Amino acid sequence: MKLFVCVLLGLFFIGCGQSETCVSINGQEKCYTQNERNKLEQKYWKILDDWVSNPQLSNIQMHLVQTCGKLQLLYDPKLINDRESFDHGVDVCVKITVHRAAPQPEFQNPEIVKAICGDNYPLWNKLCDRANL
């Protein structure tokens, strides 16, 4: 499981303490301060925002799927051990990001929006805010 995520994303996050996030890249662990973590998060949001400003279907895998995976693990490092929840979260992130560029019909349903955006999951809440859902 960890090997797959490492290969898929090039990194994976594990908890290190309240003020740090640790990342393992190619088997080497490095811990980041909250400030460094915030910079990573900003970098990932910029990648998503840049894609929204110039959406291209040909690079969804490279820009959206990988970046959404990194955000998922940044927000919830325990997902490294829960492939099903990880994949679901990446799918939600990609779908909401695509919705920002091209409205998706499922987000016309208030029940679906409430189920996703009212979930109190910080990443999804930020995604929903960015998509004006």
Assess if residue 18 is contained within a domain. Answer: no
Assess if residue 118 is contained within a domain. Answer: yes
Reported as a single tens digit per residue, the pLDDT across 42-100 is 999 999 999 999 999 888 988 899 999 989 888 887 777 788 988 999 999 999 999 99
Query: Is the pTM of the predicted complex or chain greater than 0.85?
Result: no
Assess if residue 28 is contained within a domain. Answer: no
Using the structure block, give the residue that is written with the tokens 């003020």: 19
What percentage of the chain reaches a pLDDT higher than 90?
50
What range does the domain containing 74 cover? Answer: 36-130
* Number of domain units in the chain: 1
Extended strands (E) in 1-133: 12-17, 20-25, 28-33
Assess if residue 2 is contained within a domain. Answer: no
Buried b (16+ CB within 10 A) or exposed e, 26-40: eeeeeebeeeebeeb
C-alpha torsion sign, points 6, 11, 12, 17:
positive
